[in-house]
A and B are shown apart, each in its own frame.
Chain A
Amino acid sequence: MSYGAEISRRNPGYFIFLVDQSGSMSDPQGGNAGKSKAQSVADAINRIIQNLVIQCSKNEGVFDYFCCSVVGYGKSVQSGFSAALSGRPYASMSELEANPMRLDTRTQRIPDGIGGLVDVQVKFPIWFDAVAAGGTPMCQAIGAAYQLAESWLSRNGSGFPPIVMNLTDGEATDGNPLIGAQRLSGLQSTDGNVLFFNMHLSMTTGQSALFPSNEGALVDEFARLLFKMSSALPESMIRQAQSMELPVQPGSRGFVYNADIVSIIQFLEIGTKPSNLALR
């Protein structure tokens, strides 16, 4: 139970993203006037997938170091993939890279090789748009994650365990999600238990929280519930987070409150990672 299993193309990691698409997600996010929680979640999941693809980028191709599932929950609980991947329970990184919903064009400044910078038009993929409708069947979504994780573990029982990431405003409408979260976190590979992490977006303005080790500073009752549901970061991830100078300590949980969770995917080790590589 060391969370030390190799993540490679032979032994890929597995992410399950649970995306809250309930009606309450149309409310603005605390401290972020004009941007809805649904838009913040869509931005976060797109950036997470983009960063996973970047992590898997090898020379000009994409290596399948990870596989991922996206479960949207709102009016219904269903696969969140769209376009060519619509309805798929999971997809590899190369499949995601090849099948975005659309491409947005952005201007990027890159070195020109002779000491200067040059502007280039780069197409960035978008896989998810903001959705906000219906209730918040979080318990059902966690149940769907349980099925997916159990199925993955039956095929990859000695690999790095699945990482489930729930992006939500925290107000479940179908029961107490803590019970399902504990059941889900009880699943395990020989390398460790399923990791259940949460990104909580709230209307409440005030201090954000990044990987706290206790719930003392959390004023929101849903934040405290999601903190309880969240797994402690394994030692290997704490070590990597500390090398990135992030404020984590033993006991820190995979939980962020009105903050960015994207950095968490860089806590995973794929091959040699230099101490001077700034992956922020």
Chain B
Amino acid sequence: MIENARIDVTLLPKIGERLADCEDALSLSSDPTSKHLRVAVADGASSSAFSGIWSRLLVESFIANPFFAYDDLATRLPQLAAQWLERVYRTDLPWHAIERAKRGAFSTITAIEFSGKDRISWRAIAIGDSAMLIFRDGRLLESLPFTRSSDFPTYPMLVSTIVEGNADLREHVRATEGQSEPGDVIVLATDAVARMIFESIESCEPSLESIVSGFTSDASTYIDAQRARSLLKNDDVAIVLIRFA
């Protein structure tokens, strides 16, 4: 079933910005033997420095070696933070960039791994306000870490490059697992799109079908239209849609 998954990905910056400025990241990979499929999205906090580099490191780390618990993540954070520093610091950085970098980078991560041949199991983890939603027969079956649009916090707890920034992280890690069936639609998205989808579920407008259609046909045009209608906040967008045949 995994080998028959249809996957659509969209990564777009805010209006008026370049893709190179986008601080959202996504990554996916499947085992050549199709034993598993891993997908991760992350949203680097725009109020922190070099957070696009940090969000990319987090999704790449999950894809290379997935983690589903705080301890699994915590053990690799020092090495990831060192990689971030290595990519960021140069002695000729301007003063403001050094000051920003000293305050660290912050990012969400929400990721899922599917495994199994005939019957697909999945495990997922979420930290921050990027979300995973699973739909079955047109209805929301499961979601992580939120269940409704009002759950989105103003100031989410994120994964940081600095040790003191992660002091309370353990209690903010959310993880769950389950099984997928043919026809399931799984969405991983950063906060702006995830919130829009929750709001559409709550108001029944637009329908799930039109959202799926929008993101799988011409996602850029669809996103522009939702932004123009103020249904989607002007924020970076990372979304992955997975459909099992």
Q: Identify the A interface with B (CB < 8 A).
A: 6, 8-10, 50, 53-60, 62, 97, 108, 110-115, 120, 122-125, 239-240, 243, 269-279
Contact = CB atoms under 8 A, between A and B. Distances in A.
A274 B98 CA distance: 20
B202 interface: no
B49 interface: yes
Contacts of A275: 153, 155-158
Chain A CB within 10 Å — which of B95, B102, B165, B169 has the most? B95
Contacts of A123: 95
Given A112-B85, A275-B155, 12 more contacts: A8-B16, A60-B94, A123-B95, A240-B155, A243-B155, A271-B235, A273-B155, A274-B155, A274-B156, A274-B158, A277-B165, A278-B164
Nearest to B168: A276
Nearest to B191: A272
Interface string B10-51: 000011110001000000000000000000000101111110
Contacts of B50: 59
Interface residues of B, number: 49
Contacts of B216: none
Contact of B46 (A50, A114, A240, A272): A272
A195 B30 CA distance: 53
B91 A276 contact: no
A9 B16 contact: yes
A125 B86 CA distance: 26
Contacts, number: 119
Contact of A272 (B43, B89, B97, B160): B43
12 contacts: A10-B16, A55-B47, A57-B94, A112-B85, A113-B86, A120-B98, A122-B98, A123-B95, A274-B160, A276-B157, A276-B167, A277-B160
A240 B47 CA distance: 13
B141 interface: no
A172 B144 CA distance: 57
B106 interface: yes
B143 interface: no
Contacts of B16: 8-10
A6 B157 CA distance: 21
A111 B97 contact: no
B75 interface: no
B4 interface: no
Among A6, A110, A270, A279, find the residue whose CB has the most chain B CB atoms closer than 10 A: A110
- Per DSSP, chain B at the interface is loop
Contacts of A53: 96
Contacts of A124: 95
Interface of B: 14-17, 21, 43, 45-50, 52, 82, 85-86, 89, 91, 93-104, 106, 128-129, 153-158, 160, 164-169, 191, 234-235
B85 A273 contact: no
Nearest to B93: A60
A279 B96 contact: no
B21 A58 contact: yes
Contacts of B156: 272, 274-275
Given A111-B89, A120-B91, A274 B97 contact: no
A272 B153 CA distance: 10
Task: List the 6 shortest-distance A-B pairs measured between CB atoms, nearest first.
Answer: A271-B46, A275-B155, A113-B85, A274-B158, A57-B96, A274-B106
B165 A271 contact: no
Contact of A276 (B52, B93, B98, B166): B166
Contacts of A240: 155
A59 B103 contact: no
A126 B15 CA distance: 33
| Most B-side CB within 10 Å, residue of A60, A273, A276 | A276
A187 B85 CA distance: 45
A274 B166 contact: no
A5 to B, nearest CB: 11
A100 B24 CA distance: 33
B21 A276 contact: no
Contacts of A62: 96
Contact of B106 (A8, A60, A114, A276): A276
Nearest to B100: A57
Contacts of B100: 54, 57
Contacts of B165: 274, 276-278
B82 A113 contact: yes
A122 B95 contact: yes
B157 A271 contact: no
Contacts of A9: 16-17
Nearest to A242: B155
A276 B82 contact: no
B113 to A, nearest CB: 25
B96 to A, nearest CB: 4
